[in-house]
Amino acid sequence: MTLNKHPYPIVDLFAGPGGLGEGFLSFQDSRNNTVFHSVASIERDEFSHKTLLLRHFLRSFPGNTFPQEYYDYLAGRTTLDQLFDDYPEQYKAASETALKISLGPENHETVKKIVTGRLGASKKWVLIGGPPCQAYSLAGRSRMMGNKDFEKDERHFLYREYLRIIADHSPPVFVMENVKGLLSSRIGDELVIHRIISDLSNPRAAFSKEDSGLKYRLYSLSEPSEITIGSDPRKFLVKAENYGVPQARHRMFIVGIRSDLNGKPKQLQPHKPPTVAETIGNMPKIRSGLSKGEDTAKRWGKEITKLSPDNPGGLEADAEQIGQINEVLAIHLNKMDRSSLKVRNSNASTKGPKTNHRVLVDMYDERLTTLTGHESRGHMPSDLRRYFFASVFAQTTGRTPKLADFPDSLLPNHKNVAQGRKGKMFSDRFRVQLANQPSTTITSHISKDGHYYIHYDPQQCRSLTVREAARLQTFPDNYKFEGPRTSQYHQVGNAVPPYLARQIADIIAEVLDAIGDDD
Task: Please tell me the predicted confidence (pLDDT) of residue 314.
Answer: 57
Coil/strand/helix, residue 332: helix
Instruction: Give the burial class of 49: count Cβ atoms within 10 A of its Cβ; 0-12 exposed, 13-18 middle, 19 or more buried.
Output: buried
Domains of the chain and any CATH numbers: 8-50+103-272+497-514 (3.40.50.150), 276-356+377-464 (no CATH)
Coil/strand/helix, residue 255: strand
Q: What are phi and psi of 516, to 5 degrees?
A: -65, 155
Calculate the alpha carbon distances from 356 to 273, 363, 364 in Å.
Answer: 11, 11, 11
Task: Please tell me the predicted confidence (pLDDT) of residue 48.
Answer: 98
Q: What are phi and psi of 174, to 5 degrees?
A: -135, 155
Torsion of CA 469, 472, 474, 476, to 10 degrees: 50
Task: Please tell me the predicted confidence (pLDDT) of residue 412.
Answer: 77
Q: Considering Cα of 404, then 406, then 409, then 413, what sign does the dihedral take?
A: negative
What pTM value is reported for the model? 0.92
Name 216's bridge partners: 258
Q: What is the Cα 110 distance to its own chain's centre?
A: 29
Q: Considering Cα of 472, then 502, then 33, then 59, what sign does the dihedral take?
A: negative
Neighbours of 300 (CB within 10 A): 26
CB 434 within 8 A of CB 248: no
CB 134 within 8 A of CB 30: no
Packing angle of the helix pair 192-201, 159-169 (nearest 10 deg): 10
Q: Considering Cα of 412, then 414, then 415, then 420, what sign does the dihedral take?
A: negative
Task: Please tell me the predicted confidence (pLDDT) of residue 2.
Answer: 47
Give the β-pairing of 8-13 and 126-129. parallel
Task: Please tell me the predicted confidence (pLDDT) of residue 312.
Answer: 52
Query: What would you measure as the largest C-alpha separation in the chain, in angstroms?
Result: 76
- Cα 244 from Cα 271, distance rounded (Å): 5
- Cα 32 from Cα 42, distance rounded (Å): 27
Burial 439-458 (b: 16+ CB within 10 A, else e): bbbbbbbbbeebbbbbbbbb
Where are the extended beta strands (E) located within 103-151? Answer: 126-129
pLDDT tens sequence for the chain (519 residues): 445 567 999 999 999 999 999 999 999 998 889 999 999 999 999 999 999 999 999 999 988 799 999 999 999 999 999 999 999 999 999 999 999 999 988 999 999 999 999 999 999 999 999 876 554 454 555 555 555 555 555 555 677 889 999 999 999 999 999 989 888 887 777 788 888 899 999 999 988 877 778 999 999 999 998 999 888 999 999 999 999 999 999 999 999 999 999 989 999 999 999 999 999 999 999 999 999 889 998 899 889 888 876 555 456 666 777 788 888 888 888 887 666 677 888 888 888 887 889 999 999 999 999 999 999 999 999 999 999 999 999 999 999 998 888 888 888 776 666 555 555 555 577 899 999 999 999 998 898 888 999 999 999 999 999 999 999 999 999 999 999 999 999 999 999 999 999 999 999 999 999 987 766
Task: Please tell me the predicted confidence (pLDDT) of residue 182.
Answer: 84
User: Distance between terminal CA atoms of the chain?
Assistant: 19
**Taking phi first (over 0 means left), then psi (-120 to 50 degrees means alpha), and beta for anything else, what does residue 113 get?**
alpha
